[in-house]
Chains A and B, each alone.
Chain A
Amino acid sequence: MNNRIITMFFLTLLVFPQQHSFAALADPLKTLHIQDGGRIKPFNTFATEALQLVYGRETFKGLPSDEEGKKNESRDAIDILLTWMLIPEHWNEAPIIQIRHNGLKEALGLDPEKTKKTHFSPAELMRNDRLALLIQELNNQREAQEKLDPYFQAVQTLESQISMFQAISTGVALKVLPPSEGSGIKKWFSLNELNGDSQKLFSEITQSFIKLVTMQISAPKPEEIKKVQQELKVAVEKFKEFARKQDPQAYGEEKLVELEVHLKDFHPFQKAWIAYLLATLFAVMAFVSNKSWAKNTAWVFMFLGLALHSYGMFLRVYIIGRPPVSNMYETVIWVPWGTVFFSMILTKLRKNYLLFICSGLVATLCLILSDLSPVVLDSSLQPLEPVLRDNFWLVVHVIIIVTSYAAFFLAFALGDILLIYFLRGEEKYKAVIKEGVHGIYRSIQIGIVLLALGIITGGIWADYSWGRFWGWDPKETWALIALLGYVAVLHGRLAGWVKDFGMTTAAVITFSLVIMAWYGVNFVLGAGLHTYGFGAGGVEYVSAFVAFHILYVVYVATVRKSRLSKKD
């Protein structure tokens, strides 16, 4: 009976757009504690991460088989995951597993007409004869401890997508109940292991959810939905109370789980970049017209952005209980914070709103990037590798180095914008250029001191925990190379070879070294001791970004040279 009703819900998912503005039907379930990935997380986080892995998005946008033009509204991950569990046989036939690697699709003989299909159904994949062979080959590679190429990485992803879907549909993945205190077992019980009271309590949750789902068919009033949601809430609370009683210590703090749900729902980084973008626009006005209201508004939005940005970082740090220094995503969040911070100090000192424009753009770009590609920049809250735990020097070293990148980023953005003024006329905009170059010079100085300090504190940390002050590890070596690059620029300026134009181009070009140290070592070289930050993806975009800037500098330099030679 239930099954049929939920099947109908499933069909409504496919056919009808969502009629109500409720964020998620199963909203009260968001704060259910789940043990996963070595920590306790809210069901909300678990569900979005699982959907991201299997389907490739954090929300469900309907199936590709739906008619074009009639766009479905996105649906919350928790609603979708619950139906995976309740009616797996239907989802089994739905194209929900994302495969992006073309070589893998070809190897599996999927999509022979090359229609650029990206999603396939679990059943279709399980029926595929070649899948088992591919996984066998993958295991051979793993056993031989060979480095996995992108093709085998794709096979590996597919393997985990399928097993994740199966683990959710059978309930194995959802570890919801801690063993009773003193049992000595750390691993929680999953849904399929519940029995007696806990099973009964959880089935109350499912009953309420099913009720909510079945109501959808008859276009219910908002109050009616609210009422059933209240029922669901009570059921969830009851289950949580029961689970907490098993082992209050192990069940985790309610506040942290609620804050994590809040972090995801409130999305402070998105709001922060909107504020930064507005600050940038007003800074442009302030810079062009010199109106004081524009200046003040730019300051207000800059502060607002920084406050939201800081709030988001604070939440992450508070929830996971460690500094934000472990992966690419966290540095991509940290760097714009530093850039905005430095630009505020320098703008306060020199009243140069060009700095605001630059830092606003850098911050907007970084924060949008951090949201754009969860595959490359993993925003999930992960427990730390052993070497990274509990060490003061580590935290100091990473924060200082990443902050130095922020200063160099500011110099880079200033250089980018000053090049436009060089194009528009060096003589005409002499004052702007002079002031801008001063900003570049200052930013590079701040960057150099911080980077040198960061490399040295890194040495102290390495010495303290490995007994090696300097080991030519690629990450530290590239930080040194970046430092040497900027030091060479400053020496060149001292000798009088690098003048204003030289300084501007150097700020842009030398930043490529920072990109290499920051991104390239982890994503391109992929070697060395700093393996805990490694990832893959985005290489083509980053290379294009660097190449574009080099071409841009060459273009401006050529134009300028021909102008100067005409003048002579």
Chain B
Amino acid sequence: MSPSLNKWFNKFIKQLSSLKLAVFVILSLAVISAVGTIYEAKYDATYAQKTVYTSIYMKAVLGLLCINLIFVMVDRWPWKKHHTGFVLAHIGIIIMLIGAFITEKFGIDGSMAFPLGESNRFITVSSQEVNIFASYDNGNPTRVFARAVDFFKDPPTEEKPLVATLGNQEMKITDYYHYAIGKEEFVAGEKINSGPALRVQLQNKFVNMTQWLFKTPGKKLETISLGPAQIVIHDGDFKYEKGNVLSFQPLEGDRLAYKVYLDRTQSLVKSGIVKAGESFNTGWMDATLRLLKYIPNAQRKLIFVKRESPTPRTRSAILVEYNGEKQWVGLNSVIKFFDTDKVYYFSFGNRRIDLGYDIQLADFRVGKYQGTNRAMSYESVVKVPELGEVLISMNEPMKNKGYTFYQASFEQDEQGNPTTSILSVNKDPGRPIKYLGSFLIVLGSIILFYFKRMKFKEMFKRGAHE
């Protein structure tokens, strides 16, 4: 090496090992993380993960941190006794980052849902995929298309759709909403495969409720509860039993016959004929019923309304186009496209990993705080091949074949009875490495500050002697 190159090289090393770089890296890390937490508060954890914590900026800063840590230790070579703490703490950080990297690359982090008494063998993870199955003449569906997707990163558009070629036809995904709320809509359709749909509003001084009522084709009647009453739509005869009931029967054209029954007298108190836009007094608590809309031949359609930020109700949705027909599909659901000789099933959902064996939920128990509905603890008893019955409770996971199963949460019905137990499942090959790193960091910092104290003491002593 020529002397000038050598000098340049030394200078470069000095830069990479400098405290200036260290402080810059530390502060950048702090700022980026802070931005991440704001995103998480505004949107959700996934959003923050994808835009900040696993972003290229974060990776660059962490890379720079590793380089800085390595070079600062090279720079202090040969290490002396008082370097112990410094070296341990810094090596600890590098080891921890290696552990984190291994977790991200090779780890699995997912969940499994078990309805009471049922089995499951698939771990659901956060990455998503699109599958299309075809079924000819009502035969068994076969998979004709599969693709792992990340629509958050590369959203499909009208101009740049995701295309699945099926024979000589194309199925296209042309739009993506990251946060959307599914909404039922009723549109006027053909006479076949349709039923009457009406939108009713019940209003008095205290309540104001609006709801759709739709009779699925083939069914005799459909009932909904609206405040103090039951609203019924029916074909042919309707037999009154009890309660406040309002019945509707479609007539020719845009008219409906209605009948009002009163619970108190157990009898018919009122009847008449209405059309959309008209209203009448029901006689229950002085409430007026208004028929806002009436579609004699309606079809149910699921649409998605875009939201800027998430609520527990939102999910992602995509717009799929085939043969000129457009349908929305929400995450983890399936839609159908009918063709002349076949049916296509289009599924959009989280990727699933096959465990290779079934796990059955044998029992699920919720302990509650006395006299309340607040959960105190909950636990699942699962049946696993080779292990038999195993109890999984909060803070007491089950380990099997490299995976660990944790009791994460549960779902319950309106009466507060549990319906589904949710386990979080994961595999983390980086775990021991991260633990080693943590241990070294803490040990290193304690030694570091202890030596500092000794050095200070010496300084003070010397100061006193001089």
Contact = CB atoms under 8 A, between A and B. Distances in A.
Interface stretch (B40-48, B158-166, B263-271, B342-350): B40-48
Nearest to B438: A456
A133 interface: yes
B428 interface: yes
Contacts of A386: 375-378, 394
B262 interface: no
B109 A35 contact: no
A452 B441 contact: yes
B445 interface: yes
Interface of B: 19-20, 22-23, 26-27, 29-30, 33-34, 36-38, 40-41, 44-45, 48-49, 53, 100, 103, 109, 205-209, 311-313, 368-372, 374-378, 394-395, 397, 404, 406, 408, 424-426, 428, 431, 434-435, 438, 441-442, 445-446, 449, 452
A466 to B, nearest CB: 6
Interface stretch (A144-152, A196-204, A539-547): A144-152
Nearest to B397: A467
Contact of B311 (A147, A187, A468): A147
Nearest to A464: B395
A445 B44 CA distance: 34
Nearest to B44: A527
A526 interface: yes
Interface in A455-497: 456, 459-460, 463-474, 477-478, 480-481, 484-485, 487-488, 491-492, 494-495
Interface in A420-446: 445
B423 to A, nearest CB: 10
Contacts of B371: 35-36, 38, 175, 186-188
Interface in A229-276: 250
B442 A477 contact: no
B445 A449 contact: yes
B36 A466 contact: no
A78 B42 CA distance: 44
A36 B374 CA distance: 12
15 contacts: A37-B369, A132-B205, A133-B208, A136-B208, A466-B408, A466-B424, A467-B424, A470-B100, A471-B45, A473-B45, A481-B30, A488-B30, A491-B22, A495-B23, A527-B37
A72 to B, nearest CB: 35
A478 B30 CA distance: 9
Given A386-B376, A488-B23, A132 B30 contact: no
B50 to A, nearest CB: 11
Interface stretch (A297-305, A387-395, A555-563): A387-395
B370 A39 contact: yes
A186 B442 contact: no
A144 B307 CA distance: 13
B19 A469 contact: no
CB-CB nearest 3 A-B residue pairs: A38-B369, A495-B19, A132-B206
A459 B45 contact: no
Nearest to A525: B41
Contacts of A526: 41
A453 interface: yes
Given A35-B371, A383-B374, 11 more contacts: A383-B376, A386-B378, A389-B376, A456-B438, A459-B434, A459-B438, A467-B404, A467-B425, A472-B45, A484-B27, A491-B26
Contacts of B29: 484
Contact of A469 (B103, B312, B368, B425): B103
Contacts of B48: 472
A147 B208 CA distance: 22
Contacts of B378: 386
A478 B205 CA distance: 49
- Name which of B23, B36, B374, B442 has the most chain A CB atoms within 10 A of its CB: B23
Contacts of A487: 26
A346 to B, nearest CB: 12
